[in-house]
């Protein structure tokens, strides 16, 4: 039996290990979704002398307000979730784990950076 046939017959990783899938995405949601959005809004509202450094995020905020920030974050989150689900369906561990781990690491860094900016302001 070839490896590709074996992958097609196996259930996706999110079906075999649903708790793992949920916790990976809960961590990504807590850090990238909630932590970064809340800390970005806090420093934009409470420290007007600090501007958003990311040009894409700055454009979204300038064009659509804080709703633009949230919409951009949701779009990135959903794209990464889709990549992870596709990776699970194809049996590709890298595509399955990389998106939530990346969002968690980026979210943790961005949240810490925003809190640091708030603390120093």
Residue-wise pLDDT tens digits, 12-35: 777 777 788 999 999 999 999 999
Parent domain of 34: 16-46
How far is C-alpha 67 from the geometric centre of its chain's CA atoms?
A: 17
How far is C-alpha 119 from the geometric centre of its chain's CA atoms?
A: 24
Residue 40 scores a pLDDT above 80:
yes
For residue 51, what are the CA distances in angstroms to 48, 55, 85, 103, 121?
A: 7, 10, 35, 22, 12
82, 6 contact by CB (below 8 A): no
Residue 34 lies in a domain: yes
Residue 38 lies in a domain: yes
Give the 3-state secondary structure of residue 105.
helix
Among 41-45, 91-95, 110-114, the range with the most confident prediction by mean pLDDT is: 110-114
pLDDT given at position 11: 80
Is 111 found in the same domain as 71? yes
Residue 9 lies in a domain: no
């Amino acid at each position: 039996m070839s490896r590709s046939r074996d992958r097609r017959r196996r259930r996706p990783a999110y079906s075999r290990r649903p708790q793992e899938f949920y916790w990976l995405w809960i961590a990504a949601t807590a850090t990238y979704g909630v932590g970064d959005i809340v800390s970005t809004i806090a420093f934009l509202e409470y420290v007007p002398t600090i501007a958003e450094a990311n040009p894409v995020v700055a454009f979204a905020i300038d064009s659509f307000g804080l709703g633009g920030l949230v919409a951009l974050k949701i779009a990135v989150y959903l794209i990464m979730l889709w990549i992870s689900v596709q990776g699970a369906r194809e049996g590709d561990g890298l595509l399955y784990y990389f998106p939530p781990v990346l969002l968690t690491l980026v979210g943790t860094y961005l949240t810490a950076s925003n809190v640091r900016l708030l603390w120093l302001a």
